[in-house]
């Protein structure tokens, strides 16, 4: 890269400019999605700033604890949830919201209601906050069906009905990865400008990867196909090199690496937890949407992940996602088992 030329760049593709460009592909668009995404971006900037100051500001701690000023401290995940709910409601474009932090769906009051439903995990991987590991926000966006009044049924739709999805990773830099259904683009926050700048245009996941990513501590409980896949990754029978294991335990960071470097990320179902751990609406669907948009695949052990229809807003599902060839391999193992 020519760093001097890069530093001189004056024609920056900000995320707002990118979304407006995408909008111009749809002459009938009224700009509602652009406004909604702008508010999500604002939420991400706010959370990014809070995460980076967490140690200093003593934001880490149990919700309900009081700080030295006698004020009640909010845990970062509680704070992030409030930030996103406020940003989404104040956009005037949302109708039904589902947050990992709220047991029930949130129905936006009529004066602020719009046509979109947003499902989100405001701070995924929050058990990693105290040791400074990358964590993130994950979101997916649906549009209300024609004539729908805004009930929980409006978010209990398959992932194929999602219009847009993304995540923001709070790591060594703050990176927002977004798809509005026409490919995947990554933006990095320039703190001096306060703007997300397009740094990873048109992300394509490698067809085959050299990394597998799974919590191997659960191996004792795995089913046959998962066990065989991992065995084969470590001791390939075709003479190829073994795969490397990388597992952060923070889905945004693990999926981000998988998108950029290729390979497979898995959170399988097992004998202890047949449905795995990860939540369909705000973990499995948005990440599967992004991976498919980048040319990869996402599979539950039974079907294409995006074709699941959740029965409840906090449903879980096993998930295998990543490079197309790697997911094909696990699909073949499940097919062989059920033959
Ligand atoms: P936390 O939000 O409780 O840290 O959970 C993170 C997460 O939902 C997801 O981000 C990880 O991929 C997954 O759980 C890790 O789970 P294990 O700790 O069971 O491997």
At 37 the pLDDT is: 95
User: CA of 151: how far to CAs of 106, 121, 314, in Å?
Assistant: 10, 20, 15
What is the model's pLDDT at position 309? 97
Centroid of ligand 1 to alpha carbon of 268 (angstroms)? 13
Ligand 1 centroid – CA 249 distance (Å): 5
This prediction's pTM: 0.93
Whether the CB of 262 sits within 6 Å of ligand 1:
no
Neighbours of 221 (CB within 10 A): 15
pLDDT recorded at residue 145: 85
Question: d(Cα 55, Cα 33) in Å, to the nearest integer?
Answer: 35
Each of the 339 residues of the chain gets a pLDDT tens digit; together they read 455 555 557 789 999 999 998 888 776 778 899 999 999 999 999 999 999 887 766 656 656 655 454 545 458 889 999 999 999 999 999 999 999 999 999 999 999 999 999 999 999 998 888 888 999 999 999 999 888 889 999 999 999 999 999 999 999 999 999 999 999 999 999 999 999 999 999 999 999 999 999 999 999 999 999 999 999 999 999 999 999 999 999 999 999 999 999 999 999 999 889 999 999 999 999 999 999 999 999 999 999 999 999 999 999 999 999 999 999 999 999 999 988
- Residue 189 makes CB contacts below 8 A (sequence gap 6+) with 45, 48, 173, 174, 175, 176, 195, 196, 197
> Cβ(64) to ligand 1 under 6 A?
no
CA-based nearest residue to 218, from 264, 268, 172: 268
CB half-sphere exposure, 89, CA atoms < 13 A: 15
Give the integer Cα–Cα distance in Å for 288 and 258: 12
Q: Could you tell me the domains of the chain?
A: 15-200 (3.30.540.10), 211-338 (3.40.190.80)
> Of 218, 278, 210, 280, whose CA–CA distance to 250 is shortest?
278
Distance 171 CA to ligand 1 centre (A): 16
pLDDT value at residue 149: 87
Atom of ligand 1 nearest to the CA of 215: 20
- The burial class, CB within 10 Å (0-12 / 13-18 / 19+), for 3 is exposed
Q: The tokens 């659960």 sit on which residue? A: 218
Q: Give the Cα separation of 161 and 108 in Å (integer).
A: 21
Q: Count the helices and strands in the chain (H runs, E runs).
A: 9, 13
Taking the C-alpha atoms of residue 167 and residue 157, their distance in angstroms, rounded to an integer, is 20
Residue pair 259/175 in contact (Cβ under 8 Å)? The answer is: no
Percentages (nearest 5) of helix, strand, coil residues in the chain: 40, 25, 40
């Amino acid at each position: 890269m020519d760093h001097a030329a890069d530093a001189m760049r004056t024609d920056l593709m900000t995320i707002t400019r990118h979304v407006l460009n995408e909008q111009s592909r749809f002459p009938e668009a009224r700009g509602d999605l652009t406004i909604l995404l702008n508010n999500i971006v604002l939420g991400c900037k706010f959370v990014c700033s809070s995460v980076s100051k967490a140690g200093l500001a003593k934001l880490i701690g149990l919700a309900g604890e009081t700080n030295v000023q006698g004020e009640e401290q909010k845990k970062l995940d509680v704070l992030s949830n409030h930030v996103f709910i406020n940003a989404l409601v104040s956009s005037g474009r949302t109708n039904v919201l589902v947050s990992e932090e709220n047991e029930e769906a949130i129905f936006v009051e009529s004066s602020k209601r719009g046509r979109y439903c947003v499902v989100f995990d405001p701070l995924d991987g929050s058990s990693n906050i105290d040791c400074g590991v990358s964590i993130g926000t994950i979101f997916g966006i649906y549009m209300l069906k024609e004539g729908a009044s805004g009930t929980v049924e409006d978010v209990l739709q398959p992932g194929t009905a999602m219009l847009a999805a993304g995540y923001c990773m709070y790591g060594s830099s703050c990176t927002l990865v977004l798809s509005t259904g026409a490919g995947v683009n990554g933006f990095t926050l320039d703190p001096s400008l306060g703007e997300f700048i397009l740094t990873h245009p048109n992300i394509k996941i490698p067809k085959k990867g050299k990394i597998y990513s799974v919590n191997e501590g659960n191996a004792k409980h795995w089913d046959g196909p998962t066990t065989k896949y991992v065995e084969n990754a470590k001791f390939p029978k075709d003479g190829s090199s073994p795969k490397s294991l990388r597992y952060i335990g923070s889905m945004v960071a693990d999926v981000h690496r998988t998108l950029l470097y290729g390979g497979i990320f898995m959170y399988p179902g097992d004998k202890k937890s047949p449905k795995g751990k990860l939540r369909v609406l705000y973990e499995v669907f948005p990440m599967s949407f992004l991976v498919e948009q980048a040319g990869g695949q996402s599979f539950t052990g039974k079907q294409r992940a995006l074709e699941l229809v959740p029965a409840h807003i906090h449903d879980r599902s096993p998930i295998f996602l990543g490079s197309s060839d790697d997911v094909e391999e696990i699909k073949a193992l499940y097919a062989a088992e059920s033959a």
